[in-house]
Homo-oligomer: A and B are copies of this chain.
Amino acid sequence: MAMYVLVHGSWHDGPLWGPVAEQLRAAGHEVHTPTIAGHGNGVPKDVDHDDCVASIVDFVVEHDLSGFVLLGHSFGGTVIARVAEEIPERIERLIFWNAFVPQPGNSLMDEVPPHYREMFAGLAAASEDNTVPMPFPVWRDAFIQDADLELAQSTHAQLSTEPFTPFTDKLDLQRFYALDIPKSYINATEDTALPQGEWGWHPRMSGRLGAFRLVQLPGSHEVMFTNPALLAAKIVEAGRP
């Protein structure tokens, strides 16, 4: 059996992995689902990208975890790439699930299409605490279109505002690109959180990994809610030796 550390994406927190973690545990695996600094409800939102990374590194060190598969979803890809730079010796394999793999020196904002840049910057400027909320129409049609309306609404109600500074922080990542940890990319074939094609996840982001293992499944960016059993099975395929 394997050990998985699952790092969530923007607007999410650790507990939202519940249904996926349950599936993995039922199959005998050990699963950890830490919450990134500044994420979730009722916490200070004035964090930068280094704080995000430190919070996951601290979690791993405090629990003295090693020999685990480290998975990042979406924004979580920027976090696990940096975590891998800090504690490479503890990580058996990296899995990017429809996750950002930024080019050296880029911020997340540099990697999204212009209309997202405008929307995120506008929403952050309009907020009181430099955070970006998830607009329901974007969630419903671009993130979780494979849910019915009820599930789209109930999951949206569990989201929290996203600190904006980690989106704009430039990430060096030179050390990440020199690591020889094995890597996998999971691609949900209906994921349109990034528009497919020129600005898409795969093969644009995945191709930057060099040698990697591709695993695909049908589903949206939020298939963790719409088909947690299938996602869990694909995490196992992506993570096994």
Q: Known: A240-B148, A240-B149. Contact between A142 and B213, CB under 8 A?
A: yes
A202 within 8 A of B: yes
* Measured CA separation A196–B140 after assembly (Å): 27
Q: Which segment, of A77-85, A156-164, A187-195, faces chain B?
A: A187-195
Q: How far is the CA of A71 from the CA of B188 in the complex (A)?
A: 25
Q: Which of chain B's residues have a CB closer than 8 A to the CB of A137?
A: 211
Q: Contact string, A193-216, partner B, CB cutoff 8 A, digits 1/0?
A: 001110010111011000111111
A111 CB-CB contact with B under 8 Å: no
Interface of A is mostly: loop
The reply to whether B190 and A216 contact each other, CB–CB distance below 8 Å, is yes
Q: How far is the CB of A146 from chain B (nearest CB, A)?
A: 7
Q: How many copies does the complex hold?
A: 3
Candidates B182, B196, B197, B214; contact of A190 at CB < 8 Å: B214
CA distance A184 to B184 in the complex (A): 31
A196-B202, A196-B203, A202-B196 in contact; A214/B182 too (CB < 8 A)?
no
A241 within 8 A of B: yes
**Does A218 lie at the interface of the complex (its beta carbon under 8 Å from any beta carbon of B)?**
yes
How far is it, in angstroms, between the C-alpha of A237 and the C-alpha of B142 when the chains are bound?
Answer: 13
Q: Is A126 on the interface with B (CB-CB < 8 A)?
A: no
A200 neighbours in B (Cβ, 8 Å): 203
Closest to A200 in B: B203
Number of residues from A at the complex interface, CB < 8 A = 33
* Residue A125 is within 8 A (CB to CB) of chain B in the complex: no
Is A141's CB within 8 Å of the partner chain B?
yes
**A74 contacts partner chain B, Cβ-Cβ < 8 Å:** no
A residues 121-155 near B (Cβ < 8 Å) are 137-138, 140-142, 145-146, 148-149
Please determine whether A145 and B213 come into contact, CB atoms closer than 8 angstroms. yes
Say whether, besides A195-B207, A202-B196, A214 and B145 are in contact (CB < 8 Å).
yes
Instruction: Give, as a whole number of angstroms, the nearest-CB distance from A209 to chain B.
Output: 10
Q: Are B182 and A141 in contact (CB under 8 A)?
A: yes
Chain A residues close to B by CB (< 8 Å)? 137-138, 140-142, 145-146, 148-149, 182, 184, 189-190, 192, 195-197, 200, 202-204, 206-207, 211-216, 218, 237, 240-241
